[in-house]
Amino acid sequence: MEVRWIGVKSQRLGPPSSTVGLIFSLLLGLWSAQALEMSVGKIPTLEAVNGSTVILPCTYSSCIGIKDLYFNWQFNDNGTMQKVCESVIPSEGVEPHVDIYRERVEFVGKNHQNNISILLWNITFEDGGKYTCFGRNPKEKFKNHSAIFHLIVVDELRVVDNTLTIMIASAVGGAIALLMGFMLLKNFTLFVLAKLEEKNKECLVTSSGIDNTENGLSGTKADSKPTPKKK
């Protein structure tokens, strides 16, 4: 009788999918932390009067540094992107030569401050709209980054009605003053009551001493007459 042995081919198992996902997430987070970032500030909207001069802010940052960083400003003219200016920054600390394509525009950025802001002179209503600050760093495989700044041009700045704010502030101030007055009155009343109670105690002690003296009790100032001796 022939006996056959069935062999089982061993296979090396790869890393679990959860481990692969964790490694991928860590690498993605590390890459994101090193990525170029463009910023137009915490308030990306400006309302300015027709005929004034304004600055459109933009700064960049990168944890891995820059090399031949390309940037530009673009204006969204009713859906058509018009280039305002552009330049290439060879390395950090080098001031770029900026090409301007729009009138009344001046580059006011400083590369040593990572600043690529522009200035608009004598703005008109046609200048109002969305401006995009764009950047691309070759160190990041030419990945694109951008930030949008919204410029609103008006005839005159709106006067903010602070009536409601003043009313609320007055009500809060009045409530605080009333509370403080109540606390002061309470403390004064407690102080007066404490003084009256202390005075009443003194009167009670004094009255008790006088009564004992008049009754001739021991421990008082009443004179005790000696008993006459028999002869």
One domain for residues 112 and 169: no
**How many CB atoms neighbour CB 102 within 10 A?**
14
Final residue of a structural domain among 135, 154, 173: 154
Give the domain range for residue 174.
162-202
The gap from C-alpha 5 to its chain's centroid, in whole angstroms, comes to 74
DSSP 94: P
pLDDT score, position 31: 42
Let me know if residue 174 belongs to a domain: yes
Please give the pLDDT value at position 16.
Answer: 55
155-183 pLDDT tens trace: 987 766 666 777 788 788 888 888 888 88
147 and 184 share a domain? no
pTM of structure: 0.57
Q: Does one domain contain both 111 and 61?
A: yes
CATH of the domain at 70: 2.60.40.10
Span of 32-41, 59-68, 212-221 with lowest mean pLDDT = 212-221
Helix segments in 35-162, DSSP class H? none
Same domain membership, residue 141 and residue 179: no
Domain assignment present for residue 21? The answer is: no
Are residues 85 and 56 in contact, defined by beta-carbon separation less than 8 angstroms?
no
120 shares a domain with 80: yes
108 and 170 part of one domain: no
CA 153 to chain centroid:
28
Asked if residue 84 lies in contact with residue 102, where contact means CB atoms within 8 angstroms, the answer is yes
Task: Report d(CA 99, CA 114) in Å as an integer.
Answer: 18
